[in-house]
Structure 1
Amino acid sequence: MNRHHFLKTLTGVATLAFTSPMAEADNRILGSAAPDPFPNWPLPDLRKALPNPVSIRSVELLKTQGRMLLVVTAEDGAKGITQCNDRMPNLTSLLKGLVLPHFLGKDARDLPQLVDNAYRLNSNYKYAGMPLWNSIGSVEIATWDLLGQLTRKPVYALLGKPIRNEYEVYISDFYRGGELVGGVVNRLAEKLVATGARGVKIKVGGRMQNTPEDDRRTRQFVPLVRKTLGDAAIIYADGNGSFSTKEGIEAGKFLESYGVAIFEEPCSFEDEDGMRQVNQALTKIMLAGGEQDSSLYRFERLSRTGVYDLYQPDLYYNGGILRTLQVAEIVRQHGKQFAPHTPKADPLIGPFWQVAALATNLYGLQEFVYNPGEKPASWYSPAIQVQNGKMTIPNTPGLGIQYDEGIWKGAERVV
């Protein structure tokens, strides 16, 4: 969260009952009418919801069920939990050395300020990028779960008034070669029938490269997907940075000719100019991106200059729930749409539910990974399922995920 904006807003909320000397100093330097580049998601009144302090006794990274779970425990023993993504095993030193000191012993009701501190203090901002924000975001998300458990409310109810209790999904497919194209397409068709979903997302190019073989596969795959699924099916395509600007334009026009609705990251996510040129050259397809980004300034610039039509911050990479809601507001001020990145069908979907309930500019179908024949996990509930092409957002406390107490008995402590 932008520091000046956070502190300026914080001092204006009477229920938080304090005035920051740092904010006063900022106002003296910048003037009381200092411009702020970002809109803000309204800060929650946590002191009204929780009149007594919620001191964070411990933050642990535990391994169980083949996953890493981050557990925030309050002094009274109440817990907030999030599953961590696949990046966390390589980020444990950042988590332990830079992030946790800004949360341990602190009042969880000050969560927005704790996030700001973990970015700004002790020169942590010098590590800015996905690794730092992913570490901060994992703690933020687990702490929201704690606050939701304590209030017996869904996290979204602490952050605003929900505008939806369900959303439509598309089925992701990760095929990029290695099996017959026809078999892949038939599998997609079977998944649509099983879930009732109206759309799919397919991979095009070769992921950060586009060899002649990759190109041949794309040109065989896309027409067969359209022919097999029919004209009514919604198709999204993900380039994962496979194409140069020229190739991205060519690939985009090819996708347009088959009625593909969204083209995600055709060029390297770092190539703003190239991506903008692709977007300007295409007339029938929406360009999407933002999964790799974690700078609010970059999201503002990308949306203001028309790099993408649809913005896809990752809930964890981008620093958590509140920052992701802020991205939704940043891109909305420029008339752009929003669809956070969340490809998993496991507890990682929990924070997405909270954002999806609130964001006014949530667009299109949302991502879902469906593996037919896979038994629902027994170590958490509810089962993550789609019915009639829609996902219901739970109205249960915290992130909406409850864990079997038995999983902690043999858990390995990582941090």
Structure 2
Amino acid sequence: MQRRQFLQKTIVSSSLLANPSVFNQNQTAGSELPAWKLPDLHKAIADPVLIRSVELLKTQGQLMVVVTAQDGTKGITQCNERMQNLTSLLKGLVIEHFTGKDARDLPQLIDDSYRLNSNYKYAGMSLWNCIGSVEIAVWDLLGRLSKKPVYQLLGKPLRNQYEVYISDFDRGTDTADVVERLAQKLAATGAKGVKIKVGGRMRNTPEDDRRTRLFVPLVRKKLGSKITIYADANGSYTPEEGIEIGHMLEDNGVAIFEEPCNFEDEEGLRRVNKSLTKLRLAGGEQDTSLYRFERLARTDVYDLLQADIYYNGGILRGLQVAEIARTYGKTIAPHTPKSDPLIAPFWHLAAICPNLYGLQEFVYELNSKPATWYEPAIRVQGGVMQIPNTPGLGINYDEQIWKSAERIV
């Protein structure tokens, strides 16, 4: 390198360091992230709601977070399957930021659980899943005390029901059998769409590829042109493969292509999205950084954000992802592959979210019987899920299940 070239590069580098905004001239770095405008909980509930305890109990084969107020009122949420490996974080990092505090200060309690005591060093799904589980149980508590469904505490209701699609997880069964089973599930529920799996889940073997190319046209042929099809790759493809498969999906009228590439490969996902024009690219279920969600929306990595309400830290952060998406003209459809009490937080987000897109996820098993340890029975009729208008999250548990519950934390 000649001396003049060296000096020019040194001067440019120095100016960039002195003015870091040059790096981010097309970004919103430094500005506040969009946030959900939460009504004042102190006005909604006049008296303090001191949290006496936060417990993790096991009953009916499920882990349950139970938040108890000083007057004995309880807020409850079932935990997802990740919690069994996260109990030390829940006990050691999260619970202390809620016990003895006023539940009406919930946004601050969530923030403290992340920022204080260097908890942020554990940031990611592991920490946010713990925080989110407690947050959701606190919302149930506040709803029960105020005798209102949670969505009435969150904002203005926009809907009392939503249409669903049936989510299928099969990647190994003969394709014809899967399609027949999907047809039976559609007939039983009246659902107007399905989500199928493509690729091999974070890999794409020749057998995976062969199955996908046979499966997708068969689903369209057998289910007909009126059924909406979404496809989830779970990060199976390289960008090049994702583009090729994406075109095949477009040719078969697939409406959403979820996580074609590894969720960390933002540039690869962006390339896929730019190359496809007839469907929406979706993702975000693995993500827990609000700044990353902002970047995913702003830089057109995805058209549709799919934060998981539990993984991402609860209902309020789910609504904040919705606001981030709305800022950039995008929509959301949270990751919710549930048909048990884990679906309850989504009901309340769905009730008030202005940019909820399309059909929403539901899992249905043929010949399944309603559980007897909670009510109401969670079912879809005519392709529609009704959002309960009862206090709290809308799930009531049989009191008998707590008599044999095992305390984990």
TM-score (norm 1): 0.91
**Distance between the aligned counterparts of 1:363 and 1:101, measured in 2?**
37
Equivalent-residue separation in structure 2 for 1:344 and 1:197 (angstroms):
15
Once residues 291 and 61 of structure 1 are traced to their aligned partners in structure 2, the CA distance between those partners, rounded to angstroms, is 24
Structure 2 matches for 1:231-380, cutoff 5 A? 231-380=225-374
Say whether 1:78 aligns with 2:73.
Answer: yes
Shift of 1:191: 0.7
The RMSD of aligned alpha carbons is: 0.9
Matches within 5 A, 1:164-243: 164-177=159-172, 179-243=173-237
Cα shift readout 1:342-395 (whole Å, capped 9, x = no counterpart):
100000011000000010000000000001211100100111100110000000
State the identity as a percent.
Answer: 73
CA contact (8 A) 2:164 2:362 kept: yes
For structure 2, the 5+ residue unaligned runs are 1-28
Amino acid at match of 1:146: L
Q: What are the within-5 Å matches in structure 2 for residues 120-135 of structure 1? A: 120-135=115-130
**CA distance in structure 2 between the aligned counterparts of 1:358 and 1:119, rounded to whole angstroms:** 26
Counting only pairs closer than 5 Å after superposition, residues 387-398 of structure 1 correspond to structure 2 as: 387-398=381-392
Note the C-alpha offset of 1:35: 6.0
The size of the alignment, in residue pairs, is 381
Q: What is the Cα deviation at residue 205 of structure 1?
A: 0.3
- 1:44 and 1:411 map into 2 onto residues whose CA distance is 35
Q: Retained in 1: the 8 A contact 2:38–2:155?
A: no
- Give CA-to-partner distance per residue, 1:313-348, whole Å, 9 cap, x none: 000011000111011000100000111111000000
State the SS of the aligned residue for 2:81. Answer: coil
Partner letter of residue 35 of structure 2?
N
Amino acid at match of 2:138: T
Counterpart of 1:22? none
CA distance in 2, matches of 1:35, 1:277: 27
- Equivalents in 2 of 1:198, 1:248: separation in Å? 26
- Tell me, yes or no, if the aligned pair for 2:195 and 2:231 is still in contact at 8 Å: yes
Shift of 1:37: 3.3
CA–CA distance in 2 between the matches of 1:264 and 1:43? 30
Structure of higher CA gyration radius? 2
Unmatched tracts of structure 1, length 5 or more: 1-33
1:39 to 26, 34, 37: 34
Deviations 1:189-215 (A, max 9, x none): 011111111100000000000000000
Q: What are the Cα deviations for residues 138-185 of structure 1, in whole angstroms up to 9, with x where unaligned?
A: 0000000000000000111001110000000000111101x2211110
Structure 1 residue 105: Cα displacement: 0.7
1:139 corresponds to which of 125, 134, 143: 134
